[in-house]
Structure 1
């Protein structure tokens, strides 16, 4: 399958960022720079480079949460609901600053980004600067908005924490499973690349294989299992026995039977260490290593504010 990737050279190495999986690969051949259509199977065979080893003065990818508002109240949400949400003018300003910083990939999250009327415009702002842009959504409004995203975003990631309403709705609220499934079907039918994202916890680890089967049945490109991070709302779950160790999570994913044409990824806490987040108030945040805490760094006033280190060498 041909998809759009972000390509850049950092410290002499050609890097290829996949907006769907969030992984960055070391290219095995010479490539033009910028947004590039490549065969996803070929890219998937290239070595993965951890974000900390990508070089450069700014992160290779960031998560941008331009909205705090959400129609659901998930207990494992990573967002901080107490931050102030900027208006439309400032959202465009933040998008331009991210684009000017040499970032390859931006995942637009929230809150619920499909509540933003200017979502496609924000994605276009990033794309015009050479970024590849994905959207992470709970799927509630996806069926209605899928056609509006075509040609504007490079991947859509839908949060699904179980293969049935009984499991998923227990975490995200009544009706959320069916709305997400309808959204996935609508997005796939519209021609968008869709990937399922699942927060892997003790209570849903036994349903991982069923989620993989569902992802294949729905025509998605794959599943990313996210090791739960004790950040944001999810900090309350840290002591409830829901948090698997990276080793236990790896055992779950390694045991899966993955159908041909589907890709499966596990993002551990170690993988998420040092990851950069721009929140709705325009503040730059960064995960600790491993990602068990997140701290605010500075307001985003210019591209240099996304730097991996401060003027004094601090993170």
Structure 2
């Protein structure tokens, strides 16, 4: 679901798959199959070219390790969103162990790492952790609530490949209802700073039954006004603290697809939907260094094993793959 856009060149990560390459996009989180071999590691490509290549679900590649992972190195957050995916009971590793995890991810064949949380911008060592991952050839994104982005955008600009800012409404009234007073204004200020610093920036919005119908077009209009690179609408996952809202707030994938269908040809910026089906099998590294994987359909998440060495990331038929 895309609208016409200006072509830009930005950083992706690629690896060879037979005579072709697979390419991870740190902005959208999507995997594409290129029609030619691009080599391995970080590559500069036209985003229009990459968007034109066929999307492929990582599970269809039968890879030995995940194409991308979400790493949540902390559970601390300055907000308390009721639909949060994180488990606040998970203990956080100390600084040396955070760098150990970063080095293991950098040593692996994982193409993309999305650093999430908690709120990752609360980590003072975030720039250095990104440096480790980038040196290993990963494409790195940061998913943030945006409230600390304005003060950290300049330091991140020389390092991170994409920023994804979570919004729950197109205005303060609707957003702050979920995330707290003042959070919308801080997030918008952060987006302005990231865009001004030239960081590829995207809005992410969780689809909730109580808010989706009234707000999706306004969210897309806001994205266009802010000059961001697009909007990803995320199906709510009944994982972490958000499990308590699943019965009342979840849309089915079919409902979500129908909701966005009317925007497919009129959106002012590129839009996409991440269904629960697409989130199935995705790999998460939580703050305690444990590897978790979404179950098929992403209706639950299962703990697999601690991350002690890069080979612990290896996918097995029992674990699933993504």
Task: Classify the TM-score, shorter chain.
Answer: over 0.9
Residues 259 and 251 of structure 1: CA distance in aligned 2, closer, same or farther (over 3 Å): closer
Equivalent pair of 2:202/2:229 in contact (CA under 8 Å): yes
C-alpha separation between the residues in 2 aligned to 1:69 and 1:218?
A: 28
Correspondence 1:19-30 to 2 at 5 A: 19-30=26-37
Report the Cα offset of residue 33 of structure 1.
Answer: 2.2
Offset of 1:99 from its aligned partner?
Answer: 1.4
Relative contact order, CA 8 A, sep 6+: which one is greater? 2
| Structure-2 separation of matches of 1:260 and 1:290 | 28
Aligned mate of 2:278, from 268, 271, 283: 271
Q: 1:103 aligns with which of 103, 110, 114?
A: 110
C-alpha distance after superposition, 1:5-34 (max 9, x if no partner): 001013554101000000000002332321
Q: 1:76/1:11 Cα in 2 relative to 1: closer, same or farther (>3 Å)?
A: farther
C-alpha distance in 1 between matches for 2:149 and 2:112: 21
Q: Distance in 2 between matches of 1:48 and 1:205?
A: 26
C-alpha distance in 2 between matches for 1:255 and 1:304: 44
How far apart are the structure 1 equivalents of 2:147 and 2:280?
29
SS of aligned partner of 2:298: coil
SS in 1 for 2:296: coil
Provide the rounded CA distance (Å) in 1 between the counterparts of 2:188 and 2:31: 28
**Shift of residue 204 of structure 1?**
1.9
For each residue in 1:254-297, what CA deviation from the matched residue of structure 2 results, as whole angstroms up to 9, or x when unmatched?
11166677211100000000000000000000000010000100
Of residues 44, 69, 73, the one that matches 2:76 is 69
Q: Where do residues 114-193 of structure 1 align in structure 2 (5 Å cutoff)?
A: 114-193=121-200
Deviations 1:118-174 (A, max 9, x none): 101111101111100000000000001100101110000000011011110011111
Q: 2:234 aligns with which of 216, 223, 226?
A: 226
Unaligned runs of 5+ in 2: 1-7
Counterparts of 1:14 and 1:5 in 2: how far apart (Å)?
A: 12
Residue 214 (str. 1) matches residue 231 (str. 2): no
Between the aligned partners of 2:308 and 2:152, the Cα distance in structure 1 is 31
CA distance in 1, matches of 2:298, 2:184: 28
User: Which segments of structure 1 move beyond 4 Å, counting only runs of 4 or more?
Assistant: 257-261
State the alpha-carbon separation in 2 of the partners of residues 80 and 295 from structure 1: 12
What's the Cα RMSD here?
1.2
Contact 1:246–1:269 (CA<8 Å) still a contact in 2?
yes
8 Å contact 2:221–2:268 — kept in the other structure? Answer: no
SS at match of 2:22: strand
| Mapped contact 1:135–1:155 kept (Cα < 8 A) | yes
Q: Say if 1:78 and 1:232, in contact at 8 Å, map to a contact too.
A: yes
Total equivalences in the alignment: 311
SS at 1:238 equivalent: helix
Is the 1:227–1:266 Cα contact (8 Å) retained in structure 2? yes
1:57 alignment counterpart: 64
In the TM superposition, what whole-angstrom CA distance separates every residue of 1:73-114 from its partner, at most 9, and x where no partner exists? 001110110011011111110011111120000000000000
- Give the structure-1-normalised TM-score: 0.96
**d(CA) in 1 for partners of 2:34 and 2:210?**
38
